[in-house]
Amino acid sequence: MSAAQELRGILRLRPLQLIILASLLAFLAGVCCHLKWGVLDPDVWWHLAAGNWIVQHHSVPHTGIFSRSAADRQWLSYSWGYEVLVARAYAWLGLVGLGLFAVALTLAVAYAVYWMTRRLSGHFWLACLLALSTCYAFLFNITPRSVFFSMIFFAVVLTLILEANRSGRAQLLYYLPLILVFWANIHIQFIYGLFLIGLLAGINLLQRLSAFAGIRPRFLLPPTLPLGKLVAIFTACVLATGVGPYSFRLYAVIYQYLGAKFPYQVIHEFYAIDFRSYSHYVQLLLTAAGFYAVGSQKKVDPFKLALLTVASVVGFRSMRDSWFICISAAACVADSSEQEETGERYKGETPFETAGVAAAVAVAVLLLVRNTDFTDQGLRRAIAGYYPVNAINFLRHNPQRGPLYNTLDWGGFLIWSMPEYPVVIDGRYDLYGEDLSWHFFRVHMGLESYLTDSYLNDAGLVLLQKDAPLASELSADPRFTLIYQDQLAVIFNRR
């Protein structure tokens, strides 16, 4: 036996592969524990408050709860399923539960990408390489939140579609309506799943119409799935998205986000990639590899080509949507890889092996929690360095007359930590819309006179970042008195 054959045999050892997989996931868990992103996400706090409200009232909100500037506006808590899970995690284990939920969600995304690439390619090492590069490209662009569920569902739906399209088995798509029911009740980007199904049906229809007109490009793969079944499945998926407390009103929120400008100009995670991070170059290389994998085949799959084109536009427009192009490109590379016909082809983990990997990772996480500062006390220290905890403690011991005036970055945390003071602004763009969001931002940045802000003029209490331009203005305003300041925050009350 040659050295190459011996090495190939070692690499195909199942125990080695399982150890590698568990080690990679455990390493990712360690990074998540170190970053403590589960408690440093500005939006997780209003999600937590909304989840507690839903559990307490056994209902979902329909107006702008927690807000005094938009209390009467319609608001749909479209991530209500995620919010209930967050609330239960906190109720069971406190801040550690919140952090562990974020770790578990991150690991679930990573494993979903691995599962997708392994299932499509049939190769363990290629799946690991693609999963590592894909997750490096997008996984740390944003903190773990409800959009991570969209990443997971997207990987599953795309896998089923590519397998069905490759094999001609429409039966694989019968699971999609059920998936969309859960997806639509957890995150608004279920629309990406509908896009996949609609794109597949649309490409199929166009190919059949062109064939009817006598146009049959030889370089394109012919349709493999019956059009009637695809249309029926797509219709069932659309109907499935209406199964929930908000029914089809979710589409009004989607329409609002389509016209959004404020998040893309103000919130960092919505910015386009600027190639100041290595992950941006990995995203570019993955995209190029995806297009190459599709274009290098003897016949081009029009569905993959259209998917990569649309995903490139969306994924390079905003770092928050980088996952869209990265997962799509990884799937196309995996699906286009050569499939071995011999018995040496890698087979997926059995349920027993998957449980073993999960148990090993769980033990690793437990050891990390017990031997690092990923504890209630350690997480509280991290929070105190990021949010105005000391200022809030001051207000608890020295209550002030409201109402409260605050800025966007701390709105979510104030909703959770000071529910007795409704906020004027927080991270719920779909509640405040363009006009209010821009107004509060301009006042905060000193781009618009604060003297015209009726919410500030009515406020009895103002809590701001110490370095905020508005804080400097109020320091010289005779109507307000500085009553507290620390390294992070300042508090004013009205004289």
DSSP string for residues in 28-50: HHHHHHHHTHHHH-TTHHHHHHH
- Classify residue 217: in a domain, yes or no: yes
| pLDDT score of 419 | 94
85 with 138, same domain: the answer is yes
Domain that includes residue 435, residue range: 388-494
Cα separations in angstroms, 306 against 100, 200, 202, 313, 336: 38, 9, 11, 11, 15
**Are 406 and 342 in a shared domain?**
no
String of DSSP letters for 88-133: HHHHHHHHHHHHHHHHHHHHHHHHHHHHHHHHHH--HHHHHHHHHH
**Which of 41-55, 210-224, 463-477 is predicted least confidently?**
210-224
Distance, first Cα to last Cα, the chain: 88
Q: Does some domain include residue 2?
A: no
Q: Other C-beta atoms within 10 Å of 45: how many?
A: 24
Please report whether residue 67 resides in a domain.
yes
Does one domain contain both 319 and 419? no
Burial grade of 121 (CB within 10 A; 0-12, 13-18, 19 or more): buried
| Per-residue pLDDT at 340 | 42
Q: Measured over all CA atoms, what is the biggest interatomic distance in the chain, rounded to whole angstroms?
A: 88
Q: Tell me if 52 sits within 8 A of 87, measured CB to CB.
A: yes
Q: How many domains in the chain?
A: 2
Q: Cα–Cα distances in Å, from 229 out to 197, 235, 303, 427?
A: 11, 10, 17, 41
**Considering the chain, what percentage of its residues have pLDDT values greater than 70?**
96
Residues 461 and 399 in one domain: yes
- Reported as a single tens digit per residue, the pLDDT across 405-423 is 999 999 999 999 999 999 9
Name the helix (H) or strand (E) containing 226: none
Domain co-membership, 422 together with 346: no
Average pLDDT value for residue range 194-209 = 96
Q: Write out pLDDT tens, residues 86-127.
A: 999 999 999 999 999 999 999 999 999 999 999 999 899 999
What is the structure's pLDDT at 133?
97
Asked if residue 328 and residue 256 are part of one domain, the reply reads yes
Asked whether residue 245 is assigned to any structural domain, the reply reads yes
Between CA 435 and CA 116 the distance in angstroms is 41
Residue 171 lies in a domain: yes
Are residues 435 and 320 part of one domain?
no
The predicted pLDDT at position 344 comes to: 40
Domain end (from 364, 380, 409): 364
Do 347 and 395 reside in the same domain of the chain? no
CA angle 214, 218, 224 (to 5 degrees): 85
Spatial distance between the Cα atoms of 265 and 58, rounded to a whole number of angstroms: 37
Q: Please, are residues 163 and 199 in contact by the beta-carbon 8 Å criterion?
A: no
Query: Are 92 and 223 in a shared domain?
Result: yes
Q: Is 19 helix (H, G, I), strand (E, B) or coil?
A: helix
Query: Looking at residues 253-272, what average pLDDT do you find?
Result: 92
Task: Tell me what the mean pLDDT of segment 27-52 comes to.
Answer: 93
Q: pLDDT class for 448, splitting at 50, 70, 90?
A: confident
Asked if residue 379 belongs to a domain, the reply is: no
* pLDDT value at residue 338: 60
For residue 14, the model assigns a pLDDT of 78
Using alpha carbons only, give the angle 44, 131, 10 rounded to the nearest 5 degrees. 140
Assigned domain for 143 exists: yes
Q: How many other CB atoms are found less than 10 A from the CB of residue 275?
A: 11
453, 357: one domain: no
Q: Which of 9-18, 299-308, 374-383, 441-450 has the lowest mean pLDDT?
A: 9-18
Which token pair is 44?
Answer: 């997780």
What is the share, in percent, of the chain residues with pLDDT greater than 90? Answer: 82
- Same domain membership, residue 429 and residue 357: no
What residue type is 73 in one-letter code? R
Q: Does the reported pTM lie above 0.85?
A: yes
- Token digits of residue 491: 């508090």
The answer to the question of residue 8 being in a domain is no
Same-domain pairing of 445 and 483: yes
What residue spans of 241-301 are helical by DSSP H?
A: 250-258, 262-266, 278-295
